[in-house]
Amino acid sequence: MSNAVISLILGGGSGTRLYPLTRKRSKPAVPVAGKYRLVDIPISNCLNADMNRIFVLTQFNSASLNKHIKNTYHFSHFSKAFVDILAAEQTPDNPTWYQGTADAVRQCLHHIENYEYDYVLILSGDQLYQMDFREMLQHHIESQAEVTIGTIPVTAKDASDFGILKTDDHGLITSFTEKPKQDVLAPWASPVSDEMHAAGREYLASMGIYIFSRNTLVNLLKGQAAATDFGKEIIPYAINADLKVMSYQYTGYWTDIGNISSFWEANLSLTDDIPQFNLFDEHQTIYSRARMLPPAKMSGTFKKTIIADGTIINDSTLERCVVGIRARIGKGSVITNSYIMGSDFYQTLEDLARAKSKGHPPMGIGDNCVINNAIIDKNVSIGNNVKINVGETLPDGEHEQYTVKDGIVVIKNGMVLPDGFVI
């Protein structure tokens, strides 16, 4: 059954709400959990469901994402499995770039039409969740749906941040509203499980996860040639046209990495004793690039901290932190509530000498630093006695070396903070 599926993962737009993490990379290429990229999540969900014919549609800042996929996903020569890039391209018939989610898929239809498939699974490249797509596909087939939308029950408080779908008792979607205000929300409650009802999660939010039957997708995209977005245009049209649009309710952990604060919290929540997103589930493996890195070498005090391969930590204190590959942390530093992405490479003796000649500290975090509520992007050099976000909450602001959003300091990729620097 899964061999009847082609999966399309949308690479996202310019990712302005995740800036400066998207300054040099697309959203799906942003490192997550210390050793993965965001795009690894939907790809892994597909591979775990034996849906292994996958296209990733890219456009903005795509070089890093393209490189990651090229270096990561390799299959046997005797397999039909693949993870391929479909980059935005201008053609004589279409001189524009992708104008939205639906337009991106429409422009790529000619690339997939020669494959054998009955269903198209469409996913976002910037969400954190573990879903068995086989169950969703089975639901789509058994309900004889033309479109199935992954939905998640949310509370009234959260409903205003999502597209909300109204269903009947059989899961048929009858209407849709985009980010409804609280005063008009009451009639939009849908049938949910007793557990969800007891938790006040009575509103079905679209997860941006869709299964289309092949002909339905082609007819919708070609028949609505001016429609550029699935959530705002294609899905409402399909519902109003009386197509059989079904809801598939998912009640597990799911978060949309929409901004800096949600990204920061999603990563730090992985350090919980029993995290909602389980990196240790052998049946829901998260795949990524296999790196031949040495084991982490650590001394210090660590509480609720995830530490990736190749890391060196010298007698420092870390609490509720995620530390990425090849990170280096000096002596006597105290780091709390922070995500340190690490480095893309180790500095050679020549690199260190060159940095010293410029007055730059080595890559990593120096001695006796105090860092709180921060995201340290890759390849950052932080000197000794640096203080970041210690004391009162900082106002939002954009600076040469860092950005402050929602009280979180984000040190930009490749920046240098000299000894004694204070933010």
User: Average pLDDT, stretch 308-324?
Assistant: 97
| Mean pLDDT along residues 405-412 | 96
Q: Specify the range with the lowest mean pLDDT, choosing from 11-25, 99-113, 123-137.
A: 11-25
The pLDDT of residue 328 is above 70: yes
Residue 239 and residue 122 in one domain: yes
The token duo for 77 is: 């020569």
pLDDT band for position 213 (cuts 50, 70, 90): very high
Q: Confidence band (pLDDT; 50, 70, 90) for 64?
A: confident
| 263 belongs to a structural domain | yes
Do 141 and 50 reside in the same domain of the chain?
A: yes
| Claim to verify: residue 55 and residue 96 sit in the same structural domain | yes
Task: Return the pLDDT at 179.
Answer: 85
Q: Does a structural domain hold residue 165?
A: yes
Task: Say whether both 250 and 302 belong to one domain.
Answer: no
The answer to the question of residue 287 being in a domain is no
In a domain, 278, yes or no: no
pLDDT at 13: 66
111 with 169, same domain: the answer is yes
Query: What pLDDT score was predicted for residue 366?
Result: 97
Domain identity same for 302 and 266:
no
Residues 5 and 120: beta-carbon distance below 8 Å: yes
Q: Residue 96 pLDDT more than 80? A: no
Structural domain contains residue 403: yes
Domain of 365 in residue numbering reads as 297-417
CATH of the domain at 109: 3.90.550.10
DSSP 390-423: -SSPPPPEE-SSEEEETTEEEEPTT-EE-TT-B-
Query: Is residue 186 over pLDDT 90?
Result: no
In a domain, 282, yes or no: no
Q: Kindly tell me if the per-residue pLDDT of 2 is higher than 60.
A: no
With helix as H, strand as E and coil as C, how does 208-253 read? EEEEEEHHHHHHHHHHCCCCCCHHHHHHHHHHHCCCCEEEEECCCC
Shared domain for 28 and 94, answered yes or no, is yes
Q: What percent of the chain has pLDDT over 90?
A: 74
pTM of the predicted model as reported, rounded to 2 decimal places: 0.94
Quick one: average pLDDT of 232-244? 92
Of 236, 271, 306, which residue is a domain's last?
271
Average pLDDT estimate for 97-105: 83
Which of the four pLDDT bands, split at 50, 70 and 90, describes residue 61?
A: confident
Task: Calculate mean pLDDT across residues 231-242.
Answer: 92
What is the per-residue pLDDT for 153? 94
Residues 267 and 312 in one domain: no
C-alpha to C-alpha distance for 217 and 243, rounded to whole angstroms? 11
User: Which residue type occupies 225?
Assistant: A
Q: Integer distance in angstroms from the first to the last C-alpha of the chain?
A: 55
C-alpha span between 238 and 242 (Å, rounded): 7
144-153, 224-233, 254-263: which has the highest mean pLDDT? 144-153
Looking at 271, 306, 331, which one is the last position of a domain?
271
Is 249 within a domain?
yes
Q: For residue range 294-309, what is the model confidence (pLDDT) as tens digits?
A: 999 999 999 999 999 9
Average pLDDT, the chain: 92
Q: Is residue 422 part of a domain?
A: no
Q: What angle do CA 297, 325, 369 make, to 5 degrees?
A: 70
> What pLDDT sits at residue 91?
64
Residue whose token pair is 């050793």: 35
What's the domain count of the chain? Answer: 2
- CATH code of the domain covering residue 348: 2.160.10.10
Residues 102-108 have a mean pLDDT of 89
Residue 321: beta bridge partners?
A: 305, 338
216 and 77 within one domain? yes
Please tell me whether residues 126 and 185 are part of one structural domain. Answer: yes
Question: Do 240 and 321 fall into the same domain?
Answer: no
Q: What is the mean pLDDT of residues 313-323?
A: 97
Residue 304 and residue 248 share a domain: no
